[in-house]
């Protein structure tokens, strides 16, 4: 066991997680509960995590809810069941806490589509512009931004900026275009996108709708404009979930990552949720980054307190300012 741990720690950076055997007879749910109590740890999980992880989490939410929880928790350890930029945001907000991510390689195609060096050059072309960045970006991009937003508060954040102030919106061009239409603000957009939300097939969704004429189409704003154009409701993951709770339809075609269906089904046992199909035969509506986290990796990271998120203090301070601004505006708007 000792040799295995030493070996796993040595390989941690290369592999991204503690690659160790977990006894299949172990009740991982009970073990994780024990570790939470022993270590005063809290598990924050995004809706795109696998169902077992959602079921052991203390809080499940969208990016805004998760950052609000990370800012206010009194736990000593935050175990972040999500992707790297989310765990990094938790560390930025709560530097005195140990922040663990079950697999350090759980990245994000959208965050990767905006390298800070290139973005700094892009920003330099628009010296009068204020930078609003979607939270799905690296700490480097956050440090170059004036205000952060998520899909649930983006409209309010834009509305809080004076009308004559020009804006750069980064990194998601789909969310950006949607917000340009919603707010009437002519923003300069960075050309990034999420690999999961861009893969949905308009043709297959339309065919599904023909077979399920009473189903409502609900979509995340990271989807492309033609998909959003046929949606009955557009919102963040929490927004979509809440809509299914208050709406009276019985069937929904859900155009976002499949993980959200677990909570939708739990909250609405009598309703039917159909995952929107991608434009090919693979399960590409599962986020490959989110799904790198498993219950085994979650257990191992809590047991050995690794992998841990660490970051440069100057970068952390610079990245915190626009997140604080977002949290302030959100609180004022009652979000």
Q: Which residues bind ligand 13P (CB under 6 A)?
A: 62-63, 136, 150-151, 194, 220, 222, 236-237
* 5 exposure class (CB count in 10 Å sphere: 0-12, 13-18, 19+): middle
Cβ atoms of 175 and 157 closer than 8 Å: no
Identify what 296 binds: ligand 13P, ligand SF4, none; CB under 5 to 8 Å per kind. none
Our finding on whether 258 is near ligand SF4 (CB under 6 A) is no
Smallest gap from residue 175 Cβ to ligand SF4 (A): 10
Size of the site for ligand SF4 (CB under 6 A): 13
Identify what 49 binds: ligand 13P, ligand SF4, none; CB under 5 to 8 Å per kind. none
d(CA 52, CA 50): 6
- Binders in 30-89 for ligand SF4, by CB under 6 A: 48, 83
* 199 exposure class (CB count in 10 Å sphere: 0-12, 13-18, 19+): middle
Phi-psi region of 39 (alpha: psi -120 to 50; beta: other; left: phi over 0): alpha
Identify what 237 binds: ligand 13P, ligand SF4, none; CB under 5 to 8 Å per kind. ligand 13P
Q: What is the DSSP letter of 136?
A: S
Q: Which stretch binds ligand SF4 (CB under 6 A): 11-19, 194-202, 204-212, 299-307?
A: 194-202
Nearer to ligand SF4, 79 or 194 (CB): 194
Cβ atoms of 291 and 83 closer than 8 Å: no
Identify what 216 binds: ligand SF4, ligand 13P, none; CB under 5 to 8 Å per kind. none
Identify what 109 binds: ligand 13P, ligand SF4, none; CB under 5 to 8 Å per kind. ligand SF4
CA 117, distance to chain mean position in Å, is 23
Identify what 289 binds: ligand SF4, ligand 13P, none; CB under 5 to 8 Å per kind. ligand SF4
Among 71, 180, 195, 249, binds ligand SF4 (CB under 6 A): 195
With b meaning 16 or more CB within 10 Å and e meaning fewer, what string describes 202-224?
A: beebeebbeebeebbbbbbbbbb
Among 123, 289, 297, 325, binds ligand SF4 (CB under 6 A): 289
Among 44, 81, 110, 167, binds ligand SF4 (CB under 6 A): 110
Nearer to ligand 13P, 35 or 323 (CB): 323
Residue 274, H or E segment: strand 272-275
d(CA 332, CA 335): 8
* Phi, psi (rounded to 5 degrees) for 304: -105, 0
Residues forming the site for ligand SF4 (CB under 6 A):
48, 83, 108-110, 136, 194-196, 257, 287, 289-290
């Amino acid at each position: 066991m000792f040799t295995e741990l030493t070996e796993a720690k040595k390989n941690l950076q290369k592999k991204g997680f503690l690659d160790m055997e977990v006894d299949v007879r172990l009740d991982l749910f009970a073990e994780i509960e024990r570790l939470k109590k022993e270590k005063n740890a809290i598990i924050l999980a995004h809706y795109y995590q696998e169902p077992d992880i959602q079921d052991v989490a203390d809080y499940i939410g969208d990016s805004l809810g998760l950052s609000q929880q990370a800012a206010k928790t009194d736990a000593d350890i935050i175990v972040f069941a999500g992707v790297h930029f989310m765990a990094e945001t938790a560390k930025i907000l709560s530097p005195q806490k140990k922040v663990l991510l079950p697999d350090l390689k759980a990245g994000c195609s959208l965050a990767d589509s905006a390298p800070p060096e290139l973005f700094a050059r892009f920003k330099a072309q628009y010296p009068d512009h204020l930078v609003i960045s979607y939270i799905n970006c690296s700490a480097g991009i956050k440090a170059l931004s004036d205000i952060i937003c998520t899909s649930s508060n983006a409209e309010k954040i834009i509305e809080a900026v004076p009308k004559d102030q020009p804006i750069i919106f980064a990194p998601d061009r789909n969310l950006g275009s949607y917000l340009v239409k919603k707010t009437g603000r002519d923003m300069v957009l960075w050309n990034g996108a999420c690999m999961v939300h861009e893969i949905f097939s308009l043709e297959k969704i339309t065919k599904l709708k023909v077979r399920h004429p009473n189903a409502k189409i609900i979509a995340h704003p990271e989807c492309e404009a033609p998909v959003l154009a046929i949606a009955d409701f557009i919102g963040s993951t929490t927004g979509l979930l809440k809509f299914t709770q208050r709406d009276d339809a019985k069937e929904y075609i859900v155009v976002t990552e499949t993980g959200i269906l677990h909570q939708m089904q739990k909250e609405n046992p009598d309703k039917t949720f159909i995952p929107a199909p991608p434009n090919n035969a693979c399960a590409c509506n599962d986020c490959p980054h989110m799904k790198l986290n498993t219950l085994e990796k979650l257990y191992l990271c809590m047991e050995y307190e690794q992998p841990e998120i660490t970051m440069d203090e100057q970068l952390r301070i610079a990245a915190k300012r626009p997140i604080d601004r977002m949290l302030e505006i959100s609180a004022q708007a009652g979000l």
